[in-house]
Amino acid sequence: MATVILFNKPFQVLSQFSDRSDHPAASAAASTGDTRQPARATLADYLQAPGFRVAGRLDFDSEGLLLLTDSGALQQQITHPRHKLWKTYQVQVEGTPDAAQVAALQAGVTLRDGPTLPARVHVIGTPAQLWPRTPPVRSRLTVSDSWLEISIREGRNRQVRRMTAAVGLPTLRLIRTRIGDWSLEGLAPGAHRRLTVHAPQQRAPGSVRRPRAAAPRRKP
| Catalytic residue flag (residue 59) | yes
What b/e readout covers 40-79, taking b as 16+ CB neighbours within 10 angstroms? bbebeebeebeebbbbbebbeebbbbbbbbbbeebbebbb
Candidate list 45, 59, 61, 145, residue with the active-site label: 59
Residue 207 confidence (pLDDT): 45
Taking the chain (220 residues) in runs of 10, the rounded mean pLDDT of each run is: 96 93 52 66 96 94 97 90 89 97 98 96 95 90 91 93 98 97 96 92 53 54
Distances (CA, A) of 110 to 86, 106, 123, 178: 20, 12, 21, 24
- pTM beyond 0.75, yes or no: yes
Q: Mind listing the domains of the chain with CATH numbers?
A: 1-20+39-83+181-202 (3.30.70.580), 86-179 (3.30.70.1560)
Nearest to 158 by CA among 66, 91, 81, 62: 62
Contact 106, 118 (CB under 8 A): yes
* Rounded Cα distance, 9 and 176, in Å: 9
* Rounded Cα distance, 65 and 183, in Å: 7
